[in-house]
């Protein structure tokens, strides 16, 4: 099972999911998965988004 470490990014003027994905070196779909409530076509200034910053691989052993 994969879990994310997360960073909170506050939306500022000009931010887009594409630019955020490039800035944090993550996939756009990963940002959307962590923020299912966002309108991907209209990010609001001041809105907080969770950004995945690293994967933590949690394996379950018997």
Q: Specify if 32 maps to a domain.
A: yes
> What pLDDT, on the 0 to 100 scale, is given for residue 62?
45
Q: Specify if 10 maps to a domain.
A: yes
> What pLDDT, on the 0 to 100 scale, is given for residue 1?
39
Q: Specify if 38 maps to a domain.
A: yes
For 61, counting Cβ atoms within 10 Å of its Cβ (0-12 exposed, 13-18 middle, 19+ buried), the class is exposed
For 5-57, write each residue's pLDDT tens digit. Answer: 889 999 999 999 999 999 999 999 999 999 999 999 999 999 999 999 865 55
Residue 19 structural domain: 2-52
> What pLDDT, on the 0 to 100 scale, is given for residue 30?
94
Structural domain count, the chain: 1
The CATH number given to whatever domain includes residue 35 is: 3.10.350.10
> What pLDDT, on the 0 to 100 scale, is given for residue 3?
67
Q: Specify if 60 maps to a domain.
A: no
Asked whether the whole model's pTM tops 0.85, one would answer no
């Amino acid at each position: 099972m994969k879990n994310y470490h997360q960073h909170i990014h506050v939306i500022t003027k000009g931010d887009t999911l594409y630019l955020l994905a490039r800035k944090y070196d993550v996939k756009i779909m990963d940002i959307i998965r962590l923020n299912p409530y966002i309108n991907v076509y209209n990010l609001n200034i001041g809105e907080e988004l969770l950004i995945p910053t690293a994967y933590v691989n949690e394996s379950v052993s018997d």
